[in-house]
Copies of this chain bind each other. A is one copy, B any other.
Amino acid sequence: MIHGVQVTPLRIIADDRGAVLHMLKHSDPSFAGFGEIYFSRILVGQRKAWRRHVHATSQLAVPNGCVRFVLCDQREGSSSGDTIQEVEIGEMNYQLLTIPPNVWFAMQCIGSTDALIANCASSVHDPTTVERCEVESQTIPYVWRN
């Protein structure tokens, strides 16, 4: 497991009219500040990869569909250096994924419906503090699968 990555079960409150799904509170132990909340859809069969945020902690939940996150630790001096970790979360396995700064991550829609990812990031998005890498990269030794 990658140092600093957390996977925290989240509560779903059932309701005949439509459930309520928790995500993140100011008082949660994993809360790292509020910069911005935004959504990213991933259509069936698609991937979005790779990126890492220099400063921001990403807090991710998947209220619709199901997503495989792939994380890769290339932080200098990290105790989990060169580790690759997969985390599959979604509406049927509803958990919060916390990714610390400088950990590479990718997302793949693995369900039969489009997925919606919510990211409650600790800083406002700033393109100068995001690094990107192609899906098929020499830098990150990951073999994609369906």
Q: Which residues of A contact B (CB under 8 A)?
A: 16-27, 34-43, 46-48, 63-64, 109, 114-116, 118, 120, 124-125
Contacts and interface: CB of A to CB of B under 8 A. Distances in A.
B20 A118 contact: no
Contacts of A40: 18-21
A124 B17 contact: no
Copies of this protein in the assembly total 2
A63 B39 contact: yes
Contacts of A20: 38-41
Given A22-B38, A34-B26, A38-B22, A48 B17 contact: yes
A41 B39 CA distance: 16
A136 to B, nearest CB: 15
Given A64-B116, A116-B64, A36 B18 contact: no
A44 to B, nearest CB: 9
Contacts of A34: 26, 34
